[in-house]
Structures are given as structure tokens and as C-alpha cells.
């Protein structure tokens, strides 16, 4: 069981001083030189091209400025991880409206690069619970953006991946959370039945029981589960998946479960969903002896990035005569009505299991059909995030990237969208059409006229 770490507020005075120091550092960078942040952790899965320029020190912007338990809001620094934010808010019986699954995702990163979790069917994506934010631009200015102040920047910031600026402060909404979460694991034998179950669950009720959280796992075409969470004040027991037990396996082993609120929030982090298996962490002996402090997504991420950089295992596999492998690490949003069709195609064409499912509905109801232009999900349309993370063999005749390109095409054919934290292969024209190209150009012209920050397409597709 995970213990909460006490988080002491940074305070407004210390925050303002840190922001002023960072802004001065940006203004001191010579014209024509690129700007980037020196982050301790990263949840990106695409290579980042080196700039030859040291990153800006943002280590003083990784805390919670203050929590207002009466207004149910928090003032959070942009580089604060959700692990830090959750610890600070749970102390008041509150939590962010959406908490992405991995501990070291930062609040600023989840807003500029999107995020999702099992409350997204009722609360949308993390940027939709932002009330106001201060953004550091490429010129070293600090601009405040909200629904009423610079609304174009406020709405264009999500999915801009640092190409319009960096969030240094965000005011976010919070909601009450009970001490425990009761989980029900509902099994389905076909994707049609699964989608019917999702359709009912996202109404906030399933078979007469209230539903506060919804996600799911597909193990095969005939075995999939919805995990329905309900906030409860008491629990007859609580399970612990930070030791020898593995959370995703519990879906196949029991129909009900109870977790503390903190353990529920981080249930997927301990095994990086199921990706820790590739690193041997799910072997019973390894699991018993490996300290809990190493069973974390950021630790696994460092191992994978080391391999991506050096390629030792790939070289060993090549010497053994194995086929080369392509990285397929993706989260895609498919309309709920097309989800069964996508899953059928995926089962036939991509040999990766399990698959994660998470429904979402755009929360914003007052800004037209596309309130967030750089990731234009339709208002009122239920979507399902389908997540799959691993590698596939590159068969003779194929090239590295072909599997990802096929997935991109099918997602587009089914009127879906793809998150950009990993590899993308779109042409410049496709990208502009899918990710608000016209709106982005206007934002870039207004808020980064000198081009001090990278272009979005260059950053997420060309990896510059």
C-alpha cells in the first residue's frame, strides 16, 4: 500500500521569484537560439533531437503553490508532477478532476500534451478543468490566459507541446474524493457487448449502481473487462498491488475489489499498466525481491530510453537471427460508435495484447463545436481512448514505421484522433488538417512571432 508523502505549499512569494528567474533566463538567450526546458523526467516516447543548448532550469517550479479546500481549487506550478499534486490535494479530501495514470506526468505536460483517465467520461481531459494559467512565451513574457483573458491562447494551448510557450502556473478545479474506491470488474465476450456496456456506464450508472470511474482492458476478442469504480466511505478490505500482486491480472481473478483512493489513482503506475513484464518485473521471484521504490513507471521509462539510445537488446536479437521490431506506443481516440470496428481491425492486424480502454466526452459545453482547436474532438460525441504500448516484428518487405502508418490511416478512416506523445508519420498537409493547422498558424503568429519556440509539426513528427 502506498503511503502519502506530505507536500508543503511553495507559497506565492517563492513561486513569483522562481518565475521571474526563469523569465530572465529566457530573455538572456541570444536571438536565433532554440529554447527548451531541462526536465528531470519525460513521458514522451518519441526521440527528441538535440539542440546543443543547455535546457532551462525549471527545478524551482515543481510544487503546489496553494490549495483552497473551500473553493476546491489549487494553484500548481507547471512542472509539478501529478504525484505531488495528488498528495497535496488528498490531504484535504480532494483530487484533480482528471489524474493521468503515471506519477511523473506533470500538470503542465498534461495540459500542453493532453492526458486522460477513468474520470474522463464525466470530466473530459485535464485541460478542461484549468481555470487560468500563466504561460512563459519565447520572448520571456508571462501571459495569463483564461476563458475570458486571451481566450485564443487558452483554448489553443492544449496539444501545442511547448510550441506556443510553457505553463508556469495553473489554477485547476478539484473535486471531493472518498477514502476508498470500490471496483467492479465486468467481463464481456464480444466487442459489441463491450461497447453496449460502455454506452451504459458513461451515463454514470450501470445496472442501477452509480459509476464514478470507467476504464477497461481487452485481453482477446472474446475476453474484455470494464472496470467500474465507485467512491465509498468504507471498505471491508483493501488490496495492495505495489507488492507481489499485479493489478491488471486481478481483473481476471476477481469480480470486486477495494482500493484506497491513493492506490486507485496510481493502480496502473506500479507495472506501467502491463509493460513491466517486458523488463522481467512480473516474474514472481523478481517481484518479491525488487524494492517497491523501483516498481514505478519513471524507473521503467529510464530503462527503455537507455535501450532506445544504445540498442543493446536490439543488437543481441539481431545476432540471434530475430526480425527487427518496430515501436508501437500509441493512444488513439475513436468515436464510441466506431470502437468495436477498430478493435476488430486491431485484433486482426496488430499482435499486441492487452489493450487499454478509457471513455471520454468533451466537458466544455459553451464554446461551439470545437472548443479546443488543436485537438478537435466534437462536443457531445463519446470517444474511447484505445491505448497499446510495445513493439511488433517488422516482416520482410515492411519498413520501420509501416505498422504505425497503418494504424494512423485506420484511425483517420474511423473519424478518430491520435495523441502525439509518441511516433507520428503524417505529412505536413495531413497534420495541419487533423490538428487545427489554420488556428495554430494564427496563434504562432500572435504569441511567438520571432519563432523562438519549435514548430509543432517539426517537434512531434520530424523530431527536431
DSSP code per residue over 289-310: HS-GGG-SHHHHHHHHHHHHHH
How far apart, in whole angstroms, are the C-alpha atoms of residue 409 and residue 386? Answer: 15
Q: Give the pLDDT band of residue 374 (cuts 50, 70, 90).
A: very high
Asked whether 178 and 77 are in contact (CB, 8 A), the reply is: no
pLDDT digit string, tens, across residues 143-167 = 999 999 999 999 999 999 999 999 9
How far apart, in whole angstroms, are the C-alpha atoms of residue 339 and residue 342? Answer: 5
Asked whether 246 and 282 are in contact (CB, 8 A), the reply is: yes
Check if CATH label 3.30.465.10 holds for domain 12-177+453-460.
Answer: yes
* CA atoms within a 13 Å half-sphere pointing along the CA-CB vector of 254: 13
How far apart, in whole angstroms, are the C-alpha atoms of residue 72 and residue 94? Answer: 7
pTM here is 0.94
Q: Per-residue pLDDT averaged across 424-453, rounded?
A: 96
E-strand ranges in 324-460 read 325-335, 355-360, 383-393, 417-418
> Does the structure show a pLDDT above 60 at 50?
no
pLDDT digit string, tens, across residues 253-267 = 999 999 999 999 999
Asked whether 107 and 94 are in contact (CB, 8 A), the reply is: no
How far apart, in whole angstroms, are the C-alpha atoms of residue 276 and residue 285? Answer: 14
How far apart, in whole angstroms, are the C-alpha atoms of residue 342 and residue 350? Answer: 11
How far apart, in whole angstroms, are the C-alpha atoms of residue 154 and residue 148? Answer: 9
pLDDT digit string, tens, across residues 226-242 = 999 999 999 999 999 99
Pairing verdict, β 142-146 and 325-335:
unpaired
How far apart, in whole angstroms, are the C-alpha atoms of residue 326 and residue 359? Answer: 27
pLDDT digit string, tens, across residues 179-216 = 999 999 999 999 999 999 999 999 999 999 999 999 99
How far apart, in whole angstroms, are the C-alpha atoms of residue 94 and residue 263? Answer: 15
How far apart, in whole angstroms, are the C-alpha atoms of residue 246 and residue 253? Answer: 11
Amino acid at each position: 500500500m502506498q503511503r502519502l508523502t506530505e507536500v508543503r505549499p511553495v507559497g506565492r512569494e517563492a513561486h513569483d521569484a522562481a518565475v521571474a528567474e526563469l523569465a530572465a533566463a529566457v530573455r538572456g538567450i541570444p536571438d536565433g537560439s532554440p529554447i527548451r526546458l531541462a526536465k528531470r523526467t519525460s513521458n514522451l516516447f518519441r526521440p527528441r533531437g538535440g539542440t546543443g543548448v543547455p535546457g532551462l532550469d525549471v527545478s524551482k517550479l515543481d510544487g503546489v503553490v496553494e490549495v483552497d479546500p473551500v473553493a476546491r481549487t489549487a494553484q500548481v506550478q507547471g512542472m509539478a508532477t501529478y504525484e505531488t499534486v495528488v498528495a497535496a490535494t488528498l490531504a484535504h479530501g480532494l483530487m484533480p478532476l482528471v489524474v493521468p495514470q503515471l506519477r511523473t506526468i506533470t500538470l503542465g505536460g498534461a495540459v500542453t500534451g493532453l492526458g486522460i483517465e477513468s474520470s474522463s467520461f464525466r470530466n473530459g481531459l485535464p485541460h478542461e478543468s484549468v481555470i487560468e494559467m500563466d504561460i512563459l512565451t519565447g520572448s520571456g513574457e508571462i501571459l495569463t490566459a483564461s476563458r475570458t483573458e486571451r481566450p485564443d491562447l487558452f483554448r489553443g494551448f492544449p496539444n501545442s507541446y511547448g510550441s506556443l510557450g510553457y505553463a508556469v502556473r495553473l489554477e485547476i478545479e478539484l473535486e471531493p474524493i472518498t477514502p476508498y474506491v470500490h471496483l467492479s470488474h465486468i467481463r464481456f465476450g464480444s466487442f459489441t457487448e463491450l461497447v453496449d456496456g460502455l454506452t451504459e456506464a458513461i451515463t454514470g450508472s450501470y445496472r442501477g449502481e452509480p459509476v464514478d470511474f470507467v476504464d477497461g482492458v481487452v485481453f482477446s476478442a472474446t475476453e474484455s473487462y470494464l472496470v467500474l469504480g465507485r467512491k465509498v466511505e468504507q471498505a471491508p478490505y483493501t488490496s495492495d498491488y505495489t507488492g507481489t500482486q499485479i493489478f491488471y491480472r486481478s481483473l481476471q481473478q476477481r469480480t470486486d475489489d477495494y482500493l484506497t483512493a491513493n492506490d486507485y489513482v496510481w493502480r496502473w503506475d506500479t507495472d506501467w499498466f502491463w509493460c513491466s513484464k517486458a523488463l522481467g518485473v512480473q516474474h514472481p521471484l523478481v517481484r518479491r525481491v525488487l524494492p517497491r521504490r523501483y516498481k514505478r513507471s519513471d524507473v521503467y521509462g529510464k530503462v527503455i530510453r537507455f535501450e532506445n539510445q544504445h540498442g543493446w537488446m536490439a543488437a543481441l536479437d539481431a545476432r540471434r537471427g530475430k526480425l527487427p521490431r518496430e515501436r508501437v506506443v500509441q493512444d488513439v481516440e475513436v468515436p464510441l460508435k466506431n470502437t468495436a470496428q477498430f478493435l476488430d481491425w486491431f485484433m486482426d492486424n496488430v499482435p499486441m495484447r492487452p489493450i487499454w480502454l478509457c471513455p471520454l466526452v468533451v466537458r466544455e459545453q459553451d464554446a461551439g463545436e470545437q472548443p479546443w482547436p488543436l485537438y478537435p474532438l466534437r462536443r457531445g460525441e463519446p470517444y474511447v481512448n484505445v491505448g497499446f504500448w510495445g513493439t511488433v516484428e517488422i516482416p520482410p518487405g515492411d519498413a520501420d514505421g509501416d505498422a504505425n502508418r497503418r494504424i494512423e490511416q485506420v484511425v483517420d478512416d474511423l473519424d478518430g484522433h491520435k495523441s502525439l506523445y509518441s511516433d507520428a508519420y503524417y505529412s505536413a498537409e495531413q497534420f495541419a488538417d487533423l490538428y487545427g493547422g489554420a488556428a495554430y498558424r494564427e496563434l504562432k503568429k500572435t504569441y511567438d512571432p520571432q519563432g523562438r519556440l519549435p514548430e509543432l509539426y517539426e517537434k512531434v513528427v520530424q523530431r527536431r
